[in-house]
Amino acid sequence: PIVSNFQLNQILHDELSRRRLPFRMGTVFTTSNRNWEFNQAQPLEQISASRAVATDMESATIAANGFRYRVPSATLLVVSDKPLHGQPKLEGPAKEFYEASKRQHVEVAISAVNEVNQRWPGGLPSADLRSTDEPLIG
């Protein structure tokens, strides 16, 4: 796993708390298998072993590129459905959920970015401990 930047997580935590929004912080299990919930045996074993709080298909791209290019990163996800709870994702309720949550989600993210800019105008510091002979980009 690639660990999120502590400062970014703290800012997101503070913003979500300030807005009194329910949230969980932790490791996200990322998969490229779009149908993982239909054949759950192996994915469930992997998810359980990872102790993940959520599953998605995008966070790994952000984390891997942040790690590769030494860009501090974190992800802010909205749980849109819970396939492991045995309830189907219905189009009507899903659309209502997206309409209700997308503005709030973007507002939290923008507020966090503004806070980063205010605290660190020259850029977020990185305590990246990696090999000294590794090229910066590549």
Hunting for tokens 């935590």 — which residue is that?
A: 13
The region, left, alpha or beta by phi > 0 then psi within -120 to 50, assigned to residue 12 is alpha
pLDDT above 80: residue 10: yes
pLDDT at 52: 78
pLDDT digits (tens, 9 = 90+) for 35-88: 666 666 777 787 778 787 777 777 888 888 888 888 888 888 877 666 555 566
Band of residue 19 on the pLDDT scale cut at 50, 70, 90: very high
Residue 125 has, within 13 A of its CA and on its CB side, a CA count of 4
pLDDT of residue 106: 93
First to last CA, the chain: 20
CA distance 26 to 76: 11
Instruction: List alpha helices for 3-137, DSSP H.
Output: 6-18, 41-50, 59-68, 91-119
**Entry pTM:** 0.74
